[in-house]
Amino acid sequence: MTERLGSPLLDLLAVFAVVYAVQFVADFTNVLSGLFVLSDPVSDRPWTVLTSVYAHAGINHLLTNAAALVVFGYAVAAATTRLRFHLFFAVTGAIAGVSQILLTDVLAELPMVDATASAGVLGASGAVFALLGYLLASNRLVAGLGLIARVPRWLTSLVFVVLALALTYVTASAGAALVAHFTGLLLGLVAGQFNILRPSTARSPEPTTETTR
């Protein structure tokens, strides 16, 4: 059965809405941090590695990520399966969030890094940036350039890092989890280079030994 194009986006938007409603209720019972906020040490509340990806700090944060999800995720969702899309979103979002917690203190000397962001992480922006990276690296124009000129792998890696840094800097704002953005974008660029979300092709039929007359 053919899946509806874009259906993973509708799934995620519904999850965002439900989680935000739960956050709203949990806020009154003083358990919000324990349920959703990813913070150091991660081992104290390991479930927040995943739940934090779908939670948001406010309605503006939610709407911004939802809009970016639709813009960057539509083409990716249309080119893969629902399961692959959701796994990619969850895994890249989780890695981006953990990197924000673990690396912010190390990189706090950089002017663009907000050290207070390591206190707690909420939001899908790391996964959304991964979708953007995947879209940039897996499009037909990039594939066509690869056929014209063979680019060394080290140069491709360098370009990805520079591009991730540049886009992270351009999209920086107060309170943004920039390490998570950078990590997600870099993960997406690498994943897009290898087209890991491309559905497996159907198995070719076995050759026959029969002859025709």
- Domain count within the chain: 1
If one counts every other C-beta atom within 10 angstroms of the C-beta of residue 9, the result is: 20
**Distance in angstroms (rounded) separating the CA atoms of residues 160 and 158:** 5
Tokens standing for 85? 């899309």
26 within a domain of the structure (yes/no): yes
Q: Average pLDDT, stretch 133-140?
A: 82
Output the CA–CA distances (angstroms, integers) from residue 180 to 60, 61, 62, 140, in the order listed: 19, 15, 16, 27
Confidence at 109, pLDDT banded by 50, 70, 90: low
Q: Is 171 exposed, middle or buried (0-12, 13-18, 19+ CB in 10 A)?
A: middle
Q: Which domain holds residue 43?
A: 7-193
In tens, the pLDDT along 138-165 reads 875 455 444 444 655 545 556 656 666 6
**Distance in angstroms (rounded) separating the CA atoms of residues 146 and 138:** 11
We report the CATH number of the domain holding residue 47 as: 1.20.1540.10
pLDDT at 116 over 60: no
The answer to whether the beta carbons of residues 135 and 72 sit under 8 Å apart is: yes
Confidence at residue 35, expressed as pLDDT on a 0 to 100 scale: 86
| Selected residue with higher pLDDT from 98 and 205 | 98
Closest alpha carbon to 185 in 101, 100, 114, 105: 100
Share of the chain above pLDDT 90, in %: 45
1: which DSSP letter?
A: -
3 state SS for 27-70: HHCCCHHHHHCECCCHHHCCCHHHHHHHCCCCHHHHHHHHHHHH
211 within a domain of the structure (yes/no): no
Q: Average pLDDT, stretch 1-30?
A: 80
Look up the pTM and report it: 0.79
SS3 150: coil
Q: Average pLDDT, stretch 183-210?
A: 74
133 within a domain of the structure (yes/no): yes
68 within a domain of the structure (yes/no): yes
Confidence at residue 103, expressed as pLDDT on a 0 to 100 scale: 86
pLDDT at 52 over 50: yes
2 within a domain of the structure (yes/no): no
| Angle between the N-to-C axes of helices 82-103 and 178-193, in degrees from 0 to 180, rounded to the nearest 10 | 140
pLDDT at 104 over 60: yes
Confidence at residue 90, expressed as pLDDT on a 0 to 100 scale: 98
